[in-house]
Amino acid sequence: MENILQQIGIENYIYLSTLLFCVGIFGVLYRRNAIVMFMSIEIMLNAVNLLLVAFSTYHQDATGQVFVFFSMAVAAAEVAVGLAILVAVYRNLNNIDIDNLKNLKG
Amino acid sequence: MDISFVLIILLFGAAASYFVGDKWASKAALIFSTAAFAATAYLTYKYTGGASVSYIKTWVENPMIILGFQADSLSLTMLLLTTALTPIIILATFRNSINNSRTFYALILFMAFAMAGTFVSVDGFVYYIFWELSLIPIYFISLLWGNGDWESRKKAVVKFFIYTFAGSLFMLVAFIYLYQKGGNFLNTTLYRAILTDKEQFFIFLAFFLAYAIKIPIIPFHTWQANVYQKSPTAGTMLLSGIMLKMAIYSIIRWQLPIAPKPATEYMYVFVGLGIAGVIYGSILALKQTDIKKLLAYSSLAHVGLIAAGAYTLTLDGIRGAFLQMLAHGFVVVGLFYAAEIISRRYATGEISEMGGIRVQTPKFASMFMILVLASVAMPLTFNFIGEFELLYSMAQTHIWFAVIAGTTIILGAFYMLKMFQQVMLGEQNAKPFADVTFGEAFVFIAIIAVLIFFGIYPKPITEFITPELERLVRIINRFN
Amino acid sequence: MDTNLALLLLFAPFAGFLLNVFFGKKLGKGASGTLGTLAVATSFVVTLTFFLQVINTGKPVMVDLFEWLTLANFNVNFGFQLDQLSLLWLMFVTGIGTLIHVYSISYMHDDENMHKFFAYLNLFIFFMITLVIGSNLLIMFIGWEGVGLCSYLLIGFWYKNQDYNDAAKKAFIMNRIGDLGFLIGIFIIGYLFHSLDYTTIATALSSGAEVDATWLSIAALCLFIGACGKSAQLPLYTWLPDAMAGPTPVSALIHAATMVTAGIFMVTRMNFLFNLTPDVQTVIAVVGAITSLIAAAIGLVQNDIKKVLAYSTVSQLGLMFLALGLGAYEIAVFHVITHAFFKACLFLGSGSVIHALHGEQDMRNMGGLKGVMKITYITFLISTLAISGLPPFSGFFSKDEILMTAFHQNKVLWVIGSLASIMTAFYMFRLLYLTFYKDFRGTEEQKHHLHESPGLITFPLIVLAILALVGGVISLPGNSWLNHYLAPVLAKPAHHHELDGTAYMLMGIAVVGALIGIGVAYSKYIKQSAVPAQDSEITGFAKVLYNKFYVDEIYTAIIVNPIYAIGSFFRDVTEAAFSGFIFGLGKVANMLGSEGKTLQTGSIGFYLFAFVLGICSIVVYIFLAK
Amino acid sequence: MYTLIAIAGLGIICLIAEIFNLRKAIVPITILGLLGSLALTVPDFGHYYRYFNSMVITNNFSAAFSCLFIILTIFLIALTPDFHKEHKAKLSDFVAIKLFLLTGAIAMVCFGNLAMFFLGIEILSIALYVLAASQPKNLKSNEAGMKYFLMGAFASGFILFGIALIYGATGSFDTSVIYGKILENQPMPAWYFIGIVMMSIGLLFKIAAVPFHFWAPDVYEGSPALTTATMSTLTKVAAIAAFFKLMTSLNLTVPGTYITIISIVSILSMTVGNITALVQTNVKRMLAFSGISHAGFMLMVFFNPIETPGTLLYYTAAYAFAGIAAFAVILSVCGDKGNEEVYNFNGLGKRNPLMAAVLTCSLLSMAGIPIFSGFFAKFFLFNQVLSTGHVAIVIIAILNSIVSVGYYFKLILAMYTKEATSEVQPTPVMYTIVAVLSIALNIAMGLQPDFVLGLLKI
Amino acid sequence: MLLTIFYILSAITLATAFLTILSKNPIHSAIYLVLCFFSIAGHYLMFNAQFLAIVHIIVYSGAIMILMLFTIMLMNLNKEDEKNKSMLSRIAAVVSFCLVAFVLLATFIKAQPTITEYAVSGKDYQSIKVLGQVLLNEYMLPFEFASVLLLVSMIGAVLLSKKQHINN
């Protein structure tokens, strides 16, 4: 069986992942809604996952995909903790607007 | 028994003074400092008998740091100065009521320990550690037991600390740099380090910064007057009597032998700076209204002269610097003590509020007078010996140096006598002035005895230090 | 034996000093005075033994005690050289010293600090002896500074009066200016000869060693500056008149007879050096001549009895320097000795007068004392005649020798010297007339208490007056014992003036000049009964003279005030600038910190933005920038 | 390896103990357990072991840093009960989280595979997010948690991205395999180096180096003080140690530009940290900036990475012990004041001389004044850097040290020269013990630097 | 053919990702994100990584997104009431997006090695069996360690959400 990358090219995946990663960065910077920022971070992580899978294929090696599992676990854990913090913030502020969190500065 | 024993006594004394409690702290401090003096004297005796009293041990393997306390005649002399002045300084504090005195005396002894360590270390790094260590106690002594309101005191003391700390950090860099060349920090190794002219220049400069600030040489002196004024007198005595000698000693011991080329090349600059300090300090002293500030500026003038002498790189200059260092150490402690006695009784440092004291206490006046005379280098006092050699060395370098620096004997007499006149003479002061107590008189007499004895017969000291100095001068002039 | 005796010579006064300092108060006034006097008398006796010994053997006594100062190229020993010159000096130092001590016992009897006075006097003698007998320049310098110190202490003896203290301080500082010169001279000599011993230097010079002439001249000049300070020559003479603030015995001892002659001693001591530097000799002669003239001029109009004597001292010292400058060392020494006799007598006499008047020093408030104070008057008269240069009083011989030498070498100097002598005769007789003749002009109260001084005061006066009368015999023209005696210590043979016609003519001129001065004084103060005007009424050139050519004011304006001004400048400007610079660094750091603080906005968006920018710049730098 | 297992087990024991109402026993057991783990770690010295297909590699470096982490955790856990005395029910959680955090930290220094490294750093981070936000009622704590979480997750993305690129370049996550690939001398795809840079950025974020430092002051200030203590000591040390290990094990052939970047970041960190710290009035914030500057100092080890592991250990240990001591005092002073402004320290010198002395010592140590180990740390560092000839950066570091004295002394001055503004409160014994012990360790290191340096002698 | 699919999928991925970010309503964002995840799963499928694709969908779309949606609902955030960020910060966001995208892409383009022949091992490397073996043999320790991670986040979540009982 032929390597799929023969047709598409690893570079395309790199570009795609990079773009997706940048979109994630953009999202974190652009939005003030914390939950959407979380989502953007998920996009970033997914971009990397995609890259890992692409490289896994590139090397015809399973470890890359295994690593994606860990990455997913991490993503899940992060989201869990993140949402817990979010809830705590919401309880105090009644909103999750990140721009309200500017008390610590200077 | 070797030289580390003295350090241990002082350190242990610091701990002991702290733990015996406020009531006995001063006595404990006195006992331990006297014991240190006795030990030093004994060691000196042993050393002159040909025994080695050094202590050398490797401390850290990599980088190679050697816990080396070398006893040669120079370090022993300085050690003697330190341990002799410490009990005197402690004795001088006896009449004061000091809060938290156990900490106070512990800090004084700790400082003596650090300064003693600076004088005897042969390893540049260990030397540096002691050098810095000595800053901390004086910082707290000046800060916590000083005079004047908190804000100005804080400003002065913090400035002093940061300033001197800043200077010495450059010295540390220089040491590390030298270490790269030599492989250890021993001064003998560093003397032999092969350095290009440029390296020597920068190393010299780094050392100079550290020492110029500590001595202080103008224009690095701005911390001095304020700190002297704000510190408690014990602190001022420690600073002016011993601590600034650390820097001059270090010039002779470290800076010049390690990097003599820039010193030769730019000799006029450094000697000139020292001499400028003489004039500058003297003229400023004339305008002071606070007695301790006046003495501070006089000290600036004197140490400027000493530094200038050391930078002439001649045997006379360096020996003069060394002798004058000892003499100045004693005389300045005495003068500050006198100032302390007056300002304690009159609760002011303002000269204008003094006067008419001699009528009330001729004894004190005489002793003060002798100190004033010693400070203006009256012959037959130790200071004359030092000043003569210093000025002579400058005359050898360039006659105008001697002429300009020599104005110190005129200007010095001018401000000191002016001060003495305003402080002591005149119609009886309305405020009563209690006669000196036995303890106070003892301090003065001890100092005066030293000054006059060595003024008449300096041979023991000169003979003791000269071979070592000659060796150093040979090293310093190795490129010519 | 010699060593012990020399030490006794030196330390007898020092012991007196110590005893008086520590036990003087307990001993009581009489005992402390006696103690002090005995101490000096002991020195005198010892001096006498040495003197006779040296006259007999002709060899100086050398004492080496120990090595004092170690320098790279040479050592300075603590050693003494008791030769003809120093012993001669010691003779009158200890001799007159003893007399003045005796005098002081009575004079200072009312002072509560009498023991201190004697302590200081003894200390002074100690230092003076050190100065004289030292075997090298540095030992001389010890004494040099030491006598300066004692002068300071004694001028400011009544320390409650700040004016006196000012005078004392001024004396000390002026001396120190000279001392610096002296020190520099010592440095150069040390550098040139690698020794400070007189004998070594003399040997080196006489053996014709290669010595840089310029440096030698500079050294000589520097030494002379030192002498100017100590011996009150232009431009450093202003302290001496002020020094009259001290008790009168002090003025007699220190500021007339002994200390102020130290400069002459030093130049004579170093004559082998000065001989080789003719330029400097010229300078010395000129300075001496001008000083004598100016001081005499100022002396013409002074009204304070001691000030007149002080200016007269300056003037006479000028004459001595004139002699030194002309290379006539033995003549200068001769004049020193005669001057010591008559000037000490004059001062003590004036002290006696002041004593009688309870501290009054202004001559305008004196007069008519001739009748009451017979002994004082007579001794004073003798001394006045001596200083005016009338034969056969001692001053005639010494002054005449000086003028004669000047005449032979430089007519201008001779004229100046003669003028000064004439003025001297005038103001001395002015002094005499105003004080002793006519009617008493003081208060009734004073008049009531007028009395002759007690024996302890008059005895020294009598002795000194006799010496002033006959002192000239030690160096009579044509047959000078002194020249003979001093020959071993002088590098060049003494001047010998034939007693030819010129000599007699010059003597005649001098006597006539003196008589003119006396005559003018007589006509003005006896015939016309003039009394000097009050301070405010003095006008014209007299005012300039009365105010001493405003020298003090000029010095204040061009030296002291600028120093203070510079001090203010340093204190207010440069100190602030240096300090401000350091604090400024701290301020800059703080300012930057505040700026940095504003960066910390608290906004996550901004933080992330910075994060991203950081990444971009790093990536660009590493991967894209080439 | 066994350390890791033991500590994870200890965490679980903590959780179980809570269930069985053994709350009082938690802390003693934990501390004993940690001491036991310490004993387990010590034998690792001098050996090189690989465990589980090279997932974990222990050597001197990992053992030394593990020991340091364990000691720091002991201190931190000892401080916990008093700090959380109002939330006793949560004690086991806090202790357990700290223990897991420790496992993460240890994983970061003994990883043999990037997966372990990644998991380790994530455990550490997530535990810290939780701890930072662990006062849910407190808005400051929320804000700190939120900021830290968002930015931390963002940075994790970069680390992950870097790992992916390295994998792409080498086809493996195993550090020794990667190292082998580098040694093969074949031209590496450029991804590899991009990956290194990405990971570096992520780690620079963790150690709070400029310009990735912005989170630190805010988070330090907002977090509960004990968390701040953890962050500024344990976390920072773990991050820099991991960074160091990563670089030395992966990064053989860096181009010069990389070192330039490191030195620029180092200089910026020192300067920005110190200068900004000068104007702070909140102690935690000030220490945050001081931590930033120390991160700059620590980064200087990369100039001579072969020689410097000992120096790094020494520096970090000195810094961490001083930090623990300082925070123990801060906890005792500001425990229930709700803020950590400098004025709270007014008059401490009189109120509680011992604590004041400890804080003074620790600040002096951080400022680099002998004989405290902070000084030696700086000295060893400068020595190493100078031996590679980078004089300029040493000079800049020196200038920064001077500036740093300014703000450290502000606190000291407050303690000794100002009158107390508040009542005297009893200091919990544990705080005192921890403070004294840790400053004693600091000073002991100063007196016997050879011991610590010798642990990592090459 | 595959390339076309790749482009289509990529377009969907990027578009939905953008829409996630640009939607005002968080619910819409979430739904776009789910779509984005699906498209990524499509990529995985293209790589023939079926197991991973399924896991991906289960974990992200099934767990994480549900959690998020749940939170959104819980907080009543399904409104478009979010105030926009200031213009400046939005411009900054756009600028930094463009910048970072440009820089990274440029870097990768510059760094791109020319690969003509991709390795084909012929071995099975992404079936469930292989992945399971790798995960539970070689990667056993990280696998276990991940449990610690999850435990921490669990404790953390509980700790943060637990009602506060003072001294109980």
> Testing the interface with B: which of C77, C111, C159, C560 to mutate, by most B Cβ within 10 A?
C159
Q: What's the pLDDT tens digit per position in D185-200? A: 677 788 888 888 899 9
Residue A106 lies in a domain: no
Q: Is C573's Cβ below 8 Å from some Cβ in B?
A: no
Residue C53 lies in a domain: yes
Residue A105 lies in a domain: no
* Distance, CA of D163 to CA of D166 (rounded, Å): 5
Q: What's the pLDDT tens digit per position in C583-598? A: 888 888 889 888 888 8
The region of weakest confidence among C498-507, D267-276, E18-27 is: C498-507
Size of interface C-D (CB pairs under 8 A): 73
For residues C36 and C138, state if they share a domain.
Answer: yes
For residues C70 and C209, state if they share a domain.
Answer: yes
Q: Is residue A49 over pLDDT 90?
A: yes
* Distance, CA of B342 to CA of B354 (rounded, Å): 8
When CB atoms are compared, the residue of E89, E96, E106 closest to C612 is E96
Q: Outline where DSSP puts E strands in C58-185.
A: 61-70, 75-82
The answer to whether B176 contacts D382, with C-beta atoms less than 8 Å apart, is yes
Q: Is C69's Cβ below 8 Å from some Cβ in B?
A: yes
pLDDT band of residue C117 (cuts 50, 70, 90) is confident
Q: What's the pLDDT tens digit per position in B123-145? A: 988 899 999 888 889 988 888 88
* Distance, CA of C383 to CA of C379 (rounded, Å): 6
Which residue, among B310, B242, B305, has the nearest Cα to B77 in the 3D structure? B242
Burial environment of residue B314 by CB neighbours within 10 A (0 to 12, 13 to 18, 19 or more): buried
Q: Residue D103's closest chain E neighbor by CA?
A: E148
The residue ranking higher by pLDDT, D114 or C276, is D114
C70 forms bridges with which residues in the sheet? C75
Q: How far is CA D266 from the centre of its chain?
A: 17
C601 to chain B, closest Cα gap in Å: 30
* Distance, CA of E28 to CA of E15 (rounded, Å): 13
Residue E106 lies in a domain: no
What confidence score (pLDDT) does residue E146 get? 92
Q: Is residue C492 over pLDDT 80?
A: no
Residue E136 lies in a domain: yes
Residue A60 lies in a domain: yes
What confidence score (pLDDT) does residue E168 get? 45
Q: Rounded to 10 degrees, what is the CA torsion of D358, D363, D365, D367? A: -170
* Distance, CA of B457 to CA of D122 (rounded, Å): 78
Residue C541 lies in a domain: no
Q: Residue D398's closest chain B neighbor by CA?
A: B169
pLDDT band of residue C153 (cuts 50, 70, 90) is confident
Residues of E in contact with D137 (CB under 8 A): 164
What confidence score (pLDDT) does residue E82 get? 61
Helix axes E65-74, A63-93, angle to 10 degrees: 10
B290 forms bridges with which residues in the sheet? B350
Place of tokens 């360690």: E145
Name the domain count of chain E: 2
Helix (H, G, I), strand (E, B) or coil at B306: helix
D299 to chain C, closest Cα gap in Å: 16
Q: How far is CA E11 from the centre of its chain?
A: 16
SS3 string of chain D? CHHHHHHHHHHHHHHHHHHCCCHHHHHHHHHHHHHHHHHHHHHHCCCCEEECCCCEEECHHHHHHHHHHHHHHHHHHHHHHHHCCCCHHHHHHHHHHHHHHHHHHHHHHHECEHHHHHHHHHHHHHHHHHHHCCCCCCHHHHHHHHHHHHHHHHHHHHHHHHHHHHHHHHCCCEHHHHHHHHHCCCCCCHHHHHHHHHHHHHHHHHCCCCCCCCHHHHHHHHCCHHHHHHHHHHHHHHHHHHHHHHHHHHCCCCCHHHHHHHHHHHHHHHHHHHHHHCCCCEHHHHHHHHHHHHHHHHHHHHHCCCCCHHHHHHHHHHHHHHHHHHHHHHHHHHCCCCCCEHHHHCCHHHHCHHHHHHHHHHHHHHHCCCCCHHHHHHHHHHHHHHHCCCHHHHHHHHHHHHHHHHHHHHHHHHHHHCCCCCCCCCCCHHHHHHHHHHHHHHHHHHHCHHHHHHHCCC
Range of the domain at A50: 5-100
Q: Do B238 and B88 touch, CB atoms closer than 8 A?
A: no
Q: What's the pLDDT tens digit per position in C333-348? A: 888 888 888 888 888 8
For residues C23 and C99, state if they share a domain.
Answer: yes
Name the domain count of chain C: 2
ipTM, 2 dp: 0.90
For residues C428 and C561, state if they share a domain.
Answer: no
For residues C384 and C485, state if they share a domain.
Answer: yes
- CA-to-CA separations, D184 to B396, C366, D181, D252, in angstroms, rounded: 70, 120, 5, 12
- CA-to-CA separations, E31 to C319, D335, E28, E67, E69, in angstroms, rounded: 121, 46, 5, 13, 9
Residue E48 lies in a domain: yes
Q: Is residue E165 over pLDDT 60?
A: no
Q: Is residue B473 over pLDDT 70?
A: yes
For residues E139 and E68, state if they share a domain.
Answer: no
Name the domain count of chain A: 1
pLDDT band of residue C170 (cuts 50, 70, 90) is confident
* Distance, CA of D212 to CA of C595 (rounded, Å): 18
What confidence score (pLDDT) does residue E167 get? 47
pLDDT band of residue D313 (cuts 50, 70, 90) is very high
For residues C317 and C261, state if they share a domain.
Answer: yes
Q: Is residue C98 over pLDDT 70?
A: yes
% of chain D exceeding 70 in pLDDT: 98
Chain D, 367-386: which have a CB under 8 Å from a chain B CB? 369-371, 375, 379-380, 382-383, 386
What confidence score (pLDDT) does residue A1 get? 57
The answer to whether C605 contacts E85, with C-beta atoms less than 8 Å apart, is yes
Which residue, among C250, C156, C149, C13, has the nearest Cα to B379 in the 3D structure? C149
Q: What's the pLDDT tens digit per position in C215-257? A: 888 888 888 888 888 888 888 888 888 888 888 888 888 888 8
Q: Is C137's Cβ below 8 Å from some Cβ in B?
A: no
* Distance, CA of D378 to CA of C451 (rounded, Å): 88
For residues C146 and C289, state if they share a domain.
Answer: yes
Residue C539 lies in a domain: no
Touching subunits for chain A (3+ Cβ pairs under 8 A): C, D, E
The region of weakest confidence among A68-72, C601-605, D392-396 is: C601-605
Q: Is E74's Cβ below 8 Å from some Cβ in D?
A: no
Residue E99 lies in a domain: no
The answer to whether A53 contacts E134, with C-beta atoms less than 8 Å apart, is no
What confidence score (pLDDT) does residue E84 get? 65
The region of weakest confidence among B241-255, C99-113, C493-507, D419-433 is: C493-507
Q: Is residue B431 over pLDDT 90?
A: no
The answer to whether D276 contacts C618, with C-beta atoms less than 8 Å apart, is no
* Distance, CA of C210 to CA of C197 (rounded, Å): 18
Highest mean pLDDT among A73-82, C9-18, C271-280, D88-97: A73-82
- CB contact set of D184 (below 8 Å; sequence gap of 6+): none
| Average pLDDT of every residue of chain D | 88
Q: Do C254 and C154 touch, CB atoms closer than 8 A?
A: yes
For residues C306 and C277, state if they share a domain.
Answer: yes
The answer to whether C622 contacts D275, with C-beta atoms less than 8 Å apart, is no
Residue C549 lies in a domain: no
What confidence score (pLDDT) does residue D205 get? 92
Chain E, 128-147: which have a CB under 8 Å from a chain A CB? 130-131, 134-135, 138-139, 142, 146
pLDDT band of residue C1 (cuts 50, 70, 90) is low
Tell me which amino acid residue D39 is: A
When CB atoms are compared, the residue of A43, A57, A79 closest to E67 is A79
Q: What's the pLDDT tens digit per position in E70-91? A: 888 888 776 666 666 678 888 8
For residues E69 and E19, state if they share a domain.
Answer: yes
The answer to whether B169 contacts D383, with C-beta atoms less than 8 Å apart, is no
Q: Is residue C476 over pLDDT 80?
A: no
> Testing the interface with A: which of D55, D154, D276, D286 to mutate, by most A Cβ within 10 A?
D154
The torsion angles phi and psi of B219, rounded to 5 degrees, stand at -95, 30
When CB atoms are compared, the residue of C172, C575, C583 closest to B413 is C172
Residue E92 lies in a domain: no
Q: What six digits make up the tokens of D80?
A: 């916990």
Of E64, E82, E100, the residue at which a domain comes to its end is: E82
pLDDT band of residue A19 (cuts 50, 70, 90) is very high
Range of the domain at E131: 122-162
For residues C32 and C96, state if they share a domain.
Answer: yes
Q: Residue E161's closest chain D neighbor by CA?
A: D136
* Distance, CA of B379 to CA of C137 (rounded, Å): 12
Across B283-301, average pLDDT: 88
* Distance, CA of D289 to CA of D214 (rounded, Å): 10
For residues C477 and C603, state if they share a domain.
Answer: no
pTM value?
0.90
Q: Do B26 and B90 touch, CB atoms closer than 8 A?
A: yes
Residue A39 lies in a domain: yes
Q: Is residue D163 over pLDDT 90?
A: yes
Q: Do D112 and D193 touch, CB atoms closer than 8 A?
A: no
Residue E97 lies in a domain: no
* Distance, CA of D15 to CA of D29 (rounded, Å): 12
Residues of C in contact with E92 (CB under 8 A): 605, 609
Residue A91 lies in a domain: yes
Range of the domain at C605: 554-624
* Distance, CA of D239 to CA of D264 (rounded, Å): 19
* Distance, CA of D165 to CA of D195 (rounded, Å): 5
Residue A75 lies in a domain: yes
The torsion angles phi and psi of C20, rounded to 5 degrees, stand at -70, -35
For residues C508 and C568, state if they share a domain.
Answer: no
Across D28-57, average pLDDT: 89
Q: Is residue D385 over pLDDT 80?
A: yes
When CB atoms are compared, the residue of D394, D405, D416 closest to B165 is D405
What confidence score (pLDDT) does residue D253 get? 63
CA angle B119, B122, B125 (to 5 degrees): 95
CATH of the domain at A78: 1.10.287.3510
